[in-house]
Amino acid sequence: MALLSIADALKSAIAEEMRRDPLVFCLGEDVDIPGGMGGAFTVTKGLGEEFGYERVLNTPISEIMLAGVCVGSAMMGMRPVADLQYGDFLFCMMDQLVNQAAKMCYMSGGKVHVPMVMRAPCGASNRGAQHAQSLEGFFTHVPGLKVICPSTAYDAKGLMKQAIRDDNPVLVFEHKLLYGGKRKEKDAISTIGEVPEEDYTIEFGKAAVRREGKDITIVANLLMNYKALEAAQILEQEGISCEVIDPRTLVPFDYETVVNSLKKTGRLMIVHEDNYNCGWGAQLGSWIAENQIFLLDAPIVRVATYDTPIPFSPVLENYVIPSKERIVEEARKLMKV
């Protein structure tokens, strides 16, 4: 076992896959300039030295090209792992991702596939509205894309390896406040955790139960999973027992683990930093309503970022994004229903 931050776990996953398979390569703006940062969050720092700058491509600032080069090279059998610096720039490459990458396999009648990985740092961190969004829900709406969101070092490594080996386009949402690398972010959470030295992968579509409980099922991803765990601790002292589930991947989604939990609790709360309207919680909530409504003893509650762009001012940012206090309050209300 090694003790790694998420940033280092991702790095070791990419490096091991590059050692294992010569077709894997990584690319992006500033991915690894000697003396530079290694992407915006240190993940790819040092890879150029080991693998050479033919396999670690520092690209121009050209997001359409970046995504398109992934699509084209992947169709020819390469396995690109691209770094976007900030997930907000996904919108700069929408055509190549959504009209091209996501549809190639289908449009060709299953004759081509696009094994590419797009890494998108997400989450609010006092940088203002264009460097803050949590877009994972947005992309769950696109058939043909897989969407994953690791929140621990163990998951980051196992899921990243799985993403690189997957034969489809995979979007990886990595939370800025969870990297835990050398780059210090205000309000960051330390994610240093045990990661096996030997090769392992984590299957997509398998949620993790982070805490067991019997009164409320809380499904929360990325940073919000940590806030839900903090809230669960407070609620426990009040006699409210929360089961906290981390979906880990949104497409595919593990409904079964949620259903099994609801069989115990009968109460569902969904927490995400993505905003409320049509976030991934809306999908989960309606799926439960459609398929398992009789498991519910109370209405479903969604705690999400309010439907605004992310404001800069720390007081405003803290207000629009779900806090542990808001989770606690909503949980208390839910127990009174």
Ligand X SMILES: Cc1ncc(C[n+]2csc(CCOP(=O)(O)OP(=O)(O)O)c2C)c(N)n1
* Residue in 113, 131, 141, 175 annotated catalytic: 131
Q: Which residue's CB is nearer to other proteins, number 58 or number 241?
A: 58
Task: State in angstroms the smallest separation of the CB of 35 from other proteins.
Answer: 3
Tokens of 324: 């542990």
Tokens of 194: 């045990």
Tokens of 222: 């990325």
Q: Which residue's CB is nearer to ligand X, number 9 or number 37?
A: 37
Closest Cα partner for 172 from 42, 10, 8, 3?
10
Q: Which residue's CB is nearer to ligand X, number 57 or number 92?
A: 92
SS3 state at 144: coil
**Within 10 A of 60 (CB to CB), how many other CB atoms are there?**
8
Choose among other proteins, ligand X, none what residue 46 binds, the Cβ cut-off being 5 to 8 Å by kind.
Answer: none
Catalytic residue check, 131: yes
Alpha-carbon distance 137 to 285, whole Å? 13
Dihedral over alpha carbons 87, 91, 92, 97 (to 10 degrees): 90
Choose among other proteins, ligand X, none what residue 127 binds, the Cβ cut-off being 5 to 8 Å by kind.
Answer: other proteins
Sheet holding 208-211, edge to edge: 208-211, 242-246, 216-220, 268-275, 301-305
Tokens of 60: 């121009």
Q: Which residue's CB is nearer to ligand X, number 3 or number 65?
A: 65
Q: Radius of gyration over alpha carbons of the chain, in Å?
A: 20
Task: State in angstroms the smallest separation of the CB of 234 from ligand X.
Answer: 38
Choose among ligand X, other proteins, none what residue 260 binds, the Cβ cut-off being 5 to 8 Å by kind.
Answer: none
Task: State in angstroms the smallest separation of the CB of 129 from other proteins.
Answer: 7
Report how far apart, in Å, the C-alpha atoms of 93 and of each of 44, 71, 90, 145, 314 are: 21, 12, 5, 14, 29
**Within 10 A of 285 (CB to CB), how many other CB atoms are there?**
18
Residues that bind other proteins (CB under 8 A): 29-30, 33-37, 58-64, 88-89, 92, 126-131, 183, 186, 306-309, 311-316, 319-320
Task: State in angstroms the smallest separation of the CB of 41 from ligand X.
Answer: 12
Residues that bind ligand X (CB under 6 A): 29, 61, 63, 85, 89, 92
Reported as type and span, the H/E element at residue 139 is helix 136-140
Contact 221, 207 (CB under 8 A): no
Q: Which residue's CB is nearer to other proteins, number 133 or number 257?
A: 133
Task: State in angstroms the smallest separation of the CB of 166 from other proteins.
Answer: 28
Task: State in angstroms the smallest separation of the CB of 185 from other proteins.
Answer: 9
Q: Which residue's CB is nearer to ligand X, number 62 or number 99?
A: 62
Closest Cα partner for 33 from 18, 19, 17, 49?
49
216-220 and 193-195 beta bridge pairing: unpaired
Q: Active-site residues: which are they?
A: 131
